[in-house]
């Protein structure tokens, strides 16, 4: 849902798709990391990453609103 909403709002579709592909790459790396660290630590890491993503989207909205003013 996050990607669909962000993709719809993106000014440049290719950049949004590239960011999604990069995220998939990082996700695959983290999946393999779960074998070494365990599922519980990966769950906490996923929550932190989703929180950072949410903050980045929020900051982007503030920045765009400030630039329009």
Going residue by residue through the chain, which has 69 residues, state the pLDDT in tens, using 9 for 90 and above.
Answer: 666 777 777 777 787 788 888 989 988 888 888 888 888 888 888 899 889 988 988 887 776 666 666
pLDDT of 8: 75
Domain boundaries, the chain: 14-68
| pLDDT value of position 37 | 83
Distance CA 43, CA 21 (A): 21
Burial of 57 (0-12, 13-18, 19+ CB in 10 A): middle
At residue 1, the 3 state secondary structure works out as coil
0.75 cut: is pTM over it? no
Task: Give CA–CA dist 9/11, Å, rounded.
Answer: 6
């Amino acid at each position: 849902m996050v990607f669909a909403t962000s993709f719809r709002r993106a000014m440049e579709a290719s950049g949004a798709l590239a960011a999604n592909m990069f995220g998939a790459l990082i996700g695959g790396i983290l999946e393999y990391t779960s074998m070494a660290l365990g599922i519980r630590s990966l769950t906490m890491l996923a929550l932190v990453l989703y929180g950072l993503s949410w903050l980045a989207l929020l900051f982007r909205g503030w920045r765009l609103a400030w630039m329009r003013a």
